[in-house]
């Protein structure tokens, strides 16, 4: 498999200096599981492309790597690794380009800190979670992304699509940043690593992600996938990125049993409150946007009134969990016909979300970057336009009553913001006003006289428009 990096910086052959690789030479590197070759298919003043070709030896792979988790006896020998870009390519990149990745260049030091135009092509990447994951990982870093999904077998198009993608990334940035992005994000896309992830990987991740990981909206996903199977290490990195001292951890009060108890019942109360609203407004078809592991869907399935339920989530893993919790394979056909679970994002128009009576968006908006809220608003209220929209989100004023939360901290690592009641109301009123909806607010959970309840809920209802008027 092949990775190419092209620049149109003038003179483009400066790339050779930056990478410490002469454009006229072919270099090869021995890896534990094969060989990497570095060469330049094109190198002139206007355009320069460097290619890294990995030639994996499946026998060496079987001898050197940890066991494959494939589900048949020869999985060690017969697998996709020789044909995809994975953690092997990350290793090849550090071997071949370690100086450039470290931000050093003896002959052209002035170039190291210059943002240059680059286009990267990745011939075949396995992306667990599909296009959405690729987008989630690279878009926040400023890349323009083109994704083409490979057919499972070109000779047999009926077999459908594979889980492999050709990805083209374009951006203007420092070469060092480009290389560290690729180094970290290739195994993250794949959600696999060929080597054991030990404690020094924590440092590697913090070093390689030094300039960009902290502000990356998907830093939790990146950290968890990069340090796969090592949750305690992943937590270490998240604390570091969130500027929390690791030593502090032991002294942090555990979430009190009382809070755990409260949390459980708050979840229940929330689901109950949303279900009650959906019954009250007599909804029959409901979208659960950001359905997660499908708690609301399981609740709605108990009531025959809800004849069409669409669960959407950006996370493929959450959808798998949802299916698992619902016992999808054992569900009676009649019940299963009422539900559909699909991967999708609240940031994109999706025809499958049209013509619903109601949408529930429970504890989701606070997981979105604040600058994505405008597009979220357009997608839900202007494109999908269900008759009713129910949104719940934490009330940040209430946080001081939680023992386990430091002052000013958020309730969850992945929350991007939490709103006071005033902030939520201001946003919801503006949304309702922009899109001809009315909105009513409710509190969910134990109420404090001054601070309100832990969860706040807004129920929006579409207003019928006078004839001839149209939303813009």
Cα distance between residue 368 and residue 415, in whole Å: 8
Distance CA 422, CA 395 (A): 10
CB of 158 to ligand SAH, least distance (A): 31
Work out how close the CB of 360 gets to ligand SAH at its nearest, in angstroms, rounded to a whole number.
Answer: 8
**Tokens 């890896």 map to which residue?**
31
Q: Which of 21, 181, 208, 295 binds ligand SAH (CB under 6 A)?
A: 295
Residue 397 in contact with ligand SAH, rule: CB under 6 A: no
Give the angle subtended at the CA of 204 by the CAs of 38 and 185, to the nearest 5°. 60
Two tokens, residue 431? 């949304």
Contact between 418 and ligand SAH by CB under 6 A: the answer reads no
Pick the closer one to ligand SAH by CB: 182 or 390: 390
Q: Shortest gap between Cβ of 423 and ligand SAH (angstroms)? A: 19
Locus of tokens 């939680």:
402
Cβ proximity to ligand SAH, 84 vs 358, nearer residue: 358
Out of 62, 297, 368, 444, the only residue in the binding site for ligand SAH (CB under 6 A) is 368
**d(C-alpha 237, C-alpha 212), whole Å:** 14
Cβ proximity to ligand SAH: between 16 and 292 the closer is 292
**Residue number, 62 or 322, with CB nearest to ligand SAH:** 322
In whole angstroms, the minimum distance from the beta carbon of 318 to ligand SAH comes to 4
Query: Quick one: CA dihedral 275, 352, 456, 314, positive or negative?
Result: positive
Instruction: Report the residue number, 54 or 360, with the smaller CB distance to ligand SAH.
Output: 360
Nearer to ligand SAH, 123 or 347 (CB): 347
Look up residue 371 and give its two tokens.
């600058």
User: What minimum distance in Å lies between the beta carbon of 381 and ligand SAH?
Assistant: 15
367 forms part of the interface with ligand SAH (CB under 6 A):
yes
CA 153, 159, 160, 164 torsion-angle sign: negative
For ligand SAH, the binding residues in 206-235 under the rule CB under 6 A are: none
The residue to which tokens 């001054």 are assigned: 450
Nearest one of 408, 405, 289, 412 to 353, comparing CA atoms: 289
By CB under 6 A, the residues from 326 to 355 that bind ligand SAH are 345-347
**Residues 6 or more apart in contact with residue 333 via CB below 8 angstroms:** none
Residue 270 Cβ vs ligand SAH, minimum distance, rounded to whole Å: 7
| C-alpha radius of gyration, the chain, whole number | 25
If one asks whether residue 315 binds ligand SAH (CB under 6 A), the answer comes out as: yes
Binding segment (CB under 6 A) for ligand SAH, from list 51-59, 153-161, 238-246, 285-293: 285-293
Name which of 343 and 420 has its Cβ closer to ligand SAH: 343
Instruction: Judge contact between 107 and 16, C-beta under 8 A.
Output: no
For residue 412, the minimal CB distance to ligand SAH (Å) is: 8
CA distance 363 to 395: 11
The nearest distance, CB 205 to ligand SAH, in angstroms, is 22
Residue nearer to ligand SAH on the CB measure, 86 or 220: 220
Beta bridge partners of 400: none
Secondary structure of 357-407 in HEC code, one letter for each residue: CEEEEECCHHHCCHHHHHHHHHHHHHHHCCCEEEEEEEEHHHHHHCCCCCC
Which one-letter DSSP state was computed for residue 145?
Answer: E
Q: Residue of minimal CB distance from ligand SAH?
A: 292
Q: Within its chain, how far is the Cα of 54 from the centroid?
A: 27
Asked if 56 and 34 touch (Cβ cutoff 8 Å), the reply is yes
> Taking CB under 6 A as the criterion, which residues in 182-201 touch ligand SAH?
none
- Determine the size of the site formed for ligand SAH (CB under 6 A): 16
Q: State which residue, 178 or 319, has the beta carbon closest to ligand SAH.
A: 319
* Residues 310, 281 contacting (CB under 8 angstroms): no
Pick out residues in 48-107 that bind ligand SAH (CB under 6 A).
none
User: Does residue 364 belong to the site contacting ligand SAH (CB under 6 A)?
Assistant: yes
Q: Which of 291, 379, 380, 391 binds ligand SAH (CB under 6 A)?
A: 291
Among residues 188, 189, 236, 314, which is the contact residue for ligand SAH, using CB under 6 A?
314
Contact 180/116 with Cβ under 8 angstroms?
A: no
- Which region, judged by CB under 6 A, interacts with ligand SAH, from 29-37, 53-61, 102-110, 286-294? 286-294
| Residue (326 or 362) nearer to ligand SAH, CB | 362
> Could you tell me the maximum CA-CA distance found in the chain, to the nearest angstrom?
75
Q: Which of 95-103, 169-177, 238-246, 364-372 is the region at the interface with ligand SAH (rule: CB under 6 A)?
A: 364-372
Spatial CB neighbours of 248, under 8 Å, sequence gap ≥ 6: none
Return the structure tokens found at 297.
Answer: 């869907």
Q: Provide the binding-site residues for ligand SAH, judged by CB under 6 A.
A: 290-292, 295, 313-315, 318, 345-347, 362-364, 367-368
């Amino acid at each position: 498999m092949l990775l190419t990096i092209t620049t149109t910086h003038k003179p483009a052959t400066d790339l050779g200096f930056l990478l410490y690789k002469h454009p006229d030479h072919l270099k090869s590197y021995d890896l534990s599981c094969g060989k990497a070759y570095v060469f330049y298919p094109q190198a002139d003043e206007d355009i320069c492309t460097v290619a890294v070709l990995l030639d994996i030896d499946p026998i060496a792979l079987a001898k050197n790597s940890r066991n494959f988790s494939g589900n048949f006896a020869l999985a060690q020998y017969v697998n996709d690794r020789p044909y995809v870009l994975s953690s092997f390519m990350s290793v090849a990149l550090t071997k071949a380009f370690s100086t450039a990745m470290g931000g050093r260049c003896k002959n052209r030091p002035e170039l190291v800190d210059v943002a240059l135009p680059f286009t990267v092509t990745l011939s075949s990447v396995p992306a667990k979670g599909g296009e959405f994951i690729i987008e989630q990982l690279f878009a926040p870093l400023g890349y323009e992304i083109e994704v083409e999904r490979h057919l499972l077998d070109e000779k047999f198009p009926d077999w459908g699509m594979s889980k492999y993608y050709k990805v083209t990334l374009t951006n203007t940035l420092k070469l060092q940043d480009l290389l560290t992005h690729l180094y970290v994000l290739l195994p993250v896309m794949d959600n696999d690593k060929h080597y054991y992830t030990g404690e020094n990987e924590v440092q590697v991740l913090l070093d390689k992600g030094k300039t960009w990981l902290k502000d990356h909206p998907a830093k939790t996903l990146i950290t968890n996938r990069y340090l796969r199977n090592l949750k305690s290490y992943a937590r270490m990195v998240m604390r570091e990125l969130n500027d929390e001292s690791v030593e502090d951890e032991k002294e942090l009060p555990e979430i009190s049993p009382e809070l755990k108890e409260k949390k459980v019942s708050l979840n229940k109360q929330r689901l109950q409150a949303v279900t009650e609203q959906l019954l009250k407004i007599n909804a029959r078809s409901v979208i659960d946007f950001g359905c997660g592991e499908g708690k609301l869907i399981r609740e709605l399935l108990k009531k025959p009134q809800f004849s069409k339920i669409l669960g959407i989530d950006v996370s493929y893993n959450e959808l798998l969990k949802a299916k698992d919790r619902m016992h999808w394979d054992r569900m009676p056909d009649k019940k299963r016909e009422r539900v559909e679970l699909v991967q999708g994002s609240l940031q994109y128009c999706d025809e499958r979300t049209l013509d619903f009576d109601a949408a529930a968006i429970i504890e989701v908006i606070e997981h979105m970057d604040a600058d994505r809220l405008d597009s979220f608003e357009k997608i839900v209220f202007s494109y999908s336009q269900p008759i009713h929209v129910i949104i719940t989100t934490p009330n940040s004023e209430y946080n001081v009553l939680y023992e386990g939360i430091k002052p000013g901290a958020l309730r969850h690592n992945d929350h991007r913001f939490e709103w006071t009641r005033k902030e939520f109301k201001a946003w919801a009123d503006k949304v309702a006003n922009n899109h001809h909806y009315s909105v009513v607010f409710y509190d969910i959970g134990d109420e404090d006289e001054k601070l309100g309840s832990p969860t706040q809920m807004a129920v929006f209802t579409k207003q019928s428009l006078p004839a001839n008027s149209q939303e813009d």
